[in-house]
Structure 1
Amino acid sequence: MQLDADTLLPAVISLVRDELRRLRGDAGAAVDATTWEASTTLGGEAIGADSIERLTLATAVAERFGLHELDAGDYLLRRHSLGEWAGIAAEGIRQAAGMTFRSSGTTGEPTPHRHPLADLEQEVSHLARLFPGTRRVISLAPAHHIYGFLFGVLLPQELGCPIRHDRSRSGLPPADLDRGDLVVGFPLRWRQLATLYPAFPPGVTGVTSTAPCPPALARELAQRGLERLVAIYGATETAGIGYREGPDEPFRLFDHWESDGCYLYRRRRDGIGEAVTPPDHLEFRDSRHFIPAGRRDGAVQVAGVNVHPEQVAEKLRHRPGVAEAAVHLDRSEEPRLAGWVVPESGTDPEALKAELHTWIREHLTPPERPISLTLAEEIPRGPLGKPAVGLSA
């Protein structure tokens, strides 16, 4: 598969934008990449990266595209435009024959996971068979995320069709959406579409990943005319593992995965197999079909980001006036965290609730923030004494 500078430019832009937003904290929300192109320079007016930011950005790009394996990360600091960085990235992938993606996380530390390029190409070959007749891919997912890279960079190459990356802030696909288009999104963006987009033309297919898609949302999209919505199950650690086309169906393993009931095994094209422990507990209905049954590490996903409710609860327990706290995932609509708090004796409950909401806004990232707090005399518990407020994923 030919990956050149033009092909990789969207992934480089997406990664640089994401890193800048992280580096600049609250000011990072103003980073706007809609006008960035190959000729955009790192130190120019559009990006304005200082020397420290450039070093951090170069480190992230070097790790992502294998340049650190070749001891070639310094090459990036000698070039000034995004297009030049994309060209160096293409050379890095070609020589290192792999990429490194970092798992998303807020309270959990993101960790790097390397994927051989041959493995990614193997998956894309299977994905292409799921979407015959695709005339164009429209990606609403970040191209530097493993999901966005597979569907927004590699899949169009495999299908031989054009790709359109959406970097606007509207959350909507282009007005010329038409038959044969494959729209790549994730639950939060699909919720926007279900709310704002009037109706889909016939023959449009959607794909969703990064977090569970609520069944009600899938049905609403179908009512608005979306012909198919294919959900992909996977993780940064494993890439894609399986897929399903109905919200009430189990996932089906991709052809290159097998299970013995305990472990997953990936069959590579070179014949070498590998045992993999998936991040979720998987309940198998038969040898090929499964449903996810909760994270092994206790994390849940909010807007595609891994969040650890128990760590958020522990932060609340250290607030003045809080005797006990529990945090869980509320799946009533778009998944968000919710919390239960037991006030200390003599504490004004309403004043405590107001203080906690202020502290939450100021000290927790958006995915970590409980959107509701229930004050009670005790945390509801099940027969075994464990909190019974939905703490499992």
Structure 2
Amino acid sequence: MKAFSLSEEQIACVIGAAAADELARRFNRHADFLTIAAWTQDAPLGRGGLALDEDEKVACARRAASLFGLDEDYLSAVSAEKIADWARELTVAVRHELKSFSFKPAARIDGDVAHAHGADAIYQDAAAAANVLAGRRRLLSFVAPHSLLGLELSLLTPNLLGIEAIDARRMTPDELSSNLLFGDVLVATPTLWRYMMQEGLRAPDNSLAVSFGEPMTPELAVEMRTSGFGVLREMYGSTETGLIAWRDNPGEAFVLFDHWRRAGDNLLRLCPDGEEREVDAMDLLAWSGERSFTLSGRRDGAVQIGAVNVFPDAVAETLRNHPHIEDCRIAVGRRSDGAARLIAHIVLAPKTPPNERTARDIDVWCRVNLRQQERPQIYNFEIETGAEA
């Protein structure tokens, strides 16, 4: 069925997004949002495009193949000059061999471990999302499509609904305001929604806003409704589990999709093949009924910043490797708009002055050794006596 397929153009977009993630993970190469959004079919793999050297090209080809459940060396014999060359090969394979997908979590605590999901389970998730997004005319996405929820919501769901899927990552808020039409749905993370609200995004009547990846605050929800989005849908799930539940307002409980059941304090997935599989939720769930719950914090100590799971203890451990830092503790604070931010409480090494130059030196070091979401936004220095400076 056409609804259960991905076009070559869509696969190229997935490849480009996955390549950007792989370059950041393995080679500490970071590109800006608009640059990554342009890594589509016609983007060269060399000069004028992704600018990959041989090691980077091999790593990106392996990531692309494994994402679609293929052997990581599937593309090794393909002579590729553009993303389109890889996309063409993967499109044929996906039509005949697609049995699973493999996604890497945004958090780096698991190293390079990927989580595999059967293709039927991924389409089951997308069908569930389509049920709560039915009636829309177009779907625009501000989210990269290489993650589990990004792929399901940005590409598979509109395919199942038979509506146009538009990559909005290359649009400014002004361009989005001009392009949004009556009946559209726009997908973004709360961090991106905050940015769009700050930039004055306006939506026409009967527009639907979808968010996922980090908690939606009541204050942000009010801003989004004021900007014209009459309906909100917040999705809950993870790379490890798949898509689990949804709700309309931050103050409400999440409601399980039909292929999930409560199993005591945990979850039971009803798989498409009839199997029932118990799943550990990534968060502590406070049940208010057999099909509804609220979140009571992460089981693993992660906090969500920019839709990325960040582990404060791991960030602190990394910072302790800096020659000016003797000890470090990471706290989580909230900005005035409700977004989480990291605060580093640092005990400096002996004879290290707690001044602006030291702060700049540590901040530059963090830009090399930590991802953007892991970098502290505030540094509190302590001198040897323990008093903050």
Aligned to 1:115: 117
Query: Structure 1 residues 44, 31: closer, same or farther in 2, change over 3 A?
Result: farther
User: Quick check: 239-248 or 3-12, which moved more?
Assistant: 3-12
Which of 146, 149, 160 matches 2:148?
Answer: 146
Aligned to 2:342: 337
Report how far residue 194 of structure 1 moved. Answer: 0.8
Q: TM-score, normalised by structure 2?
A: 0.87
Deviations 1:342-381 (A, max 9, x none): 55787654466565445444543321111112346769xx
Aligned to 1:274: 277
Which of 308, 320, 329 matches 2:311?
Answer: 308
Query: Structure 1 residues 37, 198: closer, same or farther in 2, change over 3 A?
Result: closer
2:211 equivalent to 1:205: no
2:17 equivalent to 1:11: no
C-alpha contact 2:38 2:170 (8 A) present in aligned 1: no
2:258 equivalent to 1:255: yes
User: Quick check: 170-179 or 128-137, which moved more?
Assistant: 170-179
- 5 Å matches for 1:152-171? 152-168=154-170, 170=172
Aligned to 1:365: 371
Report how far residue 323 of structure 1 moved. Answer: 5.6
Report how far residue 230 of structure 1 moved. Answer: 0.9
Distance across 2 between alignment mates of 1:252 and 1:87? 39
Query: Structure 1 residues 355, 19: closer, same or farther in 2, change over 3 A?
Result: closer
Alignment RMSD, CA only?
2.8
Q: TM-score, normalised by structure 1?
A: 0.86
Query: Structure 1 residues 131, 188: closer, same or farther in 2, change over 3 A?
Result: same
User: Quick check: 10-19 or 51-60, which moved more?
Assistant: 10-19
Distance across 1 between alignment mates of 2:202 and 2:330? 37
Q: Secondary structure in 1 aligned to 2:144?
A: coil
Where structure 2 has 5 or more consecutive residues not aligned to the other structure, the ranges are: none
Distance across 1 between alignment mates of 2:121 and 2:359? 49
- 5 Å matches for 1:123-138? 123-138=125-140
Where structure 1 has 5 or more consecutive residues not aligned to the other structure, the ranges are: 380-393
Query: Structure 1 residues 233, 5: closer, same or farther in 2, change over 3 A?
Result: same
Query: Structure 1 residues 57, 261: closer, same or farther in 2, change over 3 A?
Result: same
Report how far residue 114 of structure 1 moved. Answer: 0.9
Aligned to 1:390: none
Report how far residue 195 of structure 1 moved. Answer: 0.7
C-alpha contact 2:282 2:299 (8 A) present in aligned 1: yes
Q: Secondary structure in 1 aligned to 2:245?
A: strand
Aligned to 1:83: 84
Deviations 1:234-276 (A, max 9, x none): 1001111111110111111111011122321100122111111
Q: How many equivalent pairs are there? A: 378
Aligned to 1:383: none
User: Quick check: 308-317 or 200-209, which moved more?
Assistant: 308-317
Q: Secondary structure in 2 aligned to 1:68?
A: coil
Query: Structure 1 residues 201, 318: closer, same or farther in 2, change over 3 A?
Result: same
